[in-house]
Amino acid sequence: MYNDYNNYNPNYNNNNNQVNLSPTNNIGNNMYDFTNELGNKPNMNNNSNNFNNTNNNYSDTPKKSGSGFLAFIAFLEFLIIIFLCLYIANSLGYVKISFLDNLIPAKEVKIEETPEEEKTSTEVEITDTAIKTEIQNKIYYLNYLGINASNYKSSFYKSGLSINDLTSEEKELAILLGSFTSNTNVTSVTDDNEFKSVFPDKDIGLKESTKSVSKDYMNTLYLNVFGEETPLNSYESNCPIFKYSEAYNKYYMIGKCEYNDSNEIVGAFIYKFTEEGDNMYAYMSVGLFDLSTFTLYKDYDKNQIYQQYSSLEEINNASINESNYESFSKYKITFTKNKDGLYPFNKIEKME
């Protein structure tokens, strides 16, 4: 079986914030359109210091009178009372005596933690149409992560990922496929010599399904979406086939290749754009269409059914839109400003 990628039509709708990535059957105008193909105290009891010697009788030592001893005891009690009063006053903060602070070890005081106040979001909604369109266009290419002729289910929503999780191959293929699918700045190859120079081992008959796009255009897209320059690689074992030619400074794609049918397609709807400091955000609702069972799921992993349809025609007319997007899984995509003033993709998070 062969697949001709040359008739891709992503049908990207900028007016209703809907990422229309329709498959062959134009499922709800919001899915990939492969039209026609695709978290110790010391011991003070020392006997050597015992001065009680019973063998010595010091008879010449004067004896203390009883009244003097009582006076001494009374004076001692007076001192103790004064000491306690000063200690308490110091403890309560009425007086400040540093000596008393260190005399008795302080008790461990348990400070009861007060609950952290909720952070107030300072995100501001983006109303500028041009900025919203720019973000939509970046998401369009990000939706092509993991897509090929035999898999239409984008890996972009598989789990929370960041730019550091993506390989150069994954990024470049997403830009390439998205670029040739959109048909923007794409030209058909008509010259036999050009085709044979780029694909010397391919049949000349494949020239009719071969298109090209300039390196400069691809590099512009790559910089805007990922903040890097394109690595200029070729993917000749891929379907479709992509090849970079240094001689022509172009990327080429042969649209016809062997493929297997794919029945799972992501549907997505952007319902809000905001910005905060150096970040811009897009909030999306995401569901999954299963064409083999005519089922629309509320989530990427197919855990909850949104609706079951009776035919392919019915699911063709289904969509995720402004009237039902609250029923589907929510995602937050972050684009962060870099040193060049661009806002490339940073991360995507699934919201609870």
CA 135/CA 129 separation, integer angstroms: 10
Tell me the three-class secondary structure of 226-243, residue by residue: HCCCCCCCCECCCCCEEE
116-119: list long-range contacts, CB under 8 Å, 24+ apart.
Answer: none
* H or E stretch covering 178: helix 168-182
pLDDT by residue (tens digit) across 261-299?
889 999 999 999 999 999 999 999 999 999 999 999 999
How many separate domains does the chain show?
Answer: 1
CA 149/CA 259 separation, integer angstroms: 5
Is-above-0.95 flag for pTM? no
Is residue 135 assigned to a domain?
yes
The candidate with the shortest Cα–Cα distance to 307, out of 329, 284, 283, 290, is: 290
> Average per-residue pLDDT in the chain?
80
Q: How many CA atoms lie within 13 A of 300 on its CB side?
A: 19
CA 266/CA 37 separation, integer angstroms: 16
Lowest mean pLDDT among 88-97, 104-113, 155-164, 189-198: 104-113
Residue 79 has a pLDDT of 66
Which of 38-42, 73-77, 258-262, 343-347 is most confident? 343-347
Residue 41 has a pLDDT of 34
Q: Is the pLDDT of residue 305 over 90?
A: yes
Q: Is the pLDDT of residue 15 over 70?
A: no
Is residue 52 assigned to a domain?
no
Residue 46 has a pLDDT of 37
| Segment 328-333 mean pLDDT | 98
Residue 257 has a pLDDT of 85
Residue 70 has a pLDDT of 63
CA 192/CA 141 separation, integer angstroms: 31
Give the residue with greater pLDDT, 120 vs 72: 120
CA 103/CA 100 separation, integer angstroms: 5
Is residue 70 assigned to a domain?
no
Is residue 20 assigned to a domain?
yes
Which two tokens mark 104?
């008795």
At 260, the pLDDT band (50, 70, 90 cuts) reads confident
Give the residue with greater pLDDT, 317 vs 18: 317
Residue 146 has a pLDDT of 95
| Segment 111-117 mean pLDDT | 52
Is residue 343 assigned to a domain?
yes
Domain that holds residue 242: 2-37+121-351
pLDDT by residue (tens digit) across 221-243?
999 999 999 999 999 998 999 99
Is residue 345 assigned to a domain?
yes
Lowest mean pLDDT among 44-48, 66-70, 96-100, 119-123: 44-48
Is residue 346 assigned to a domain?
yes
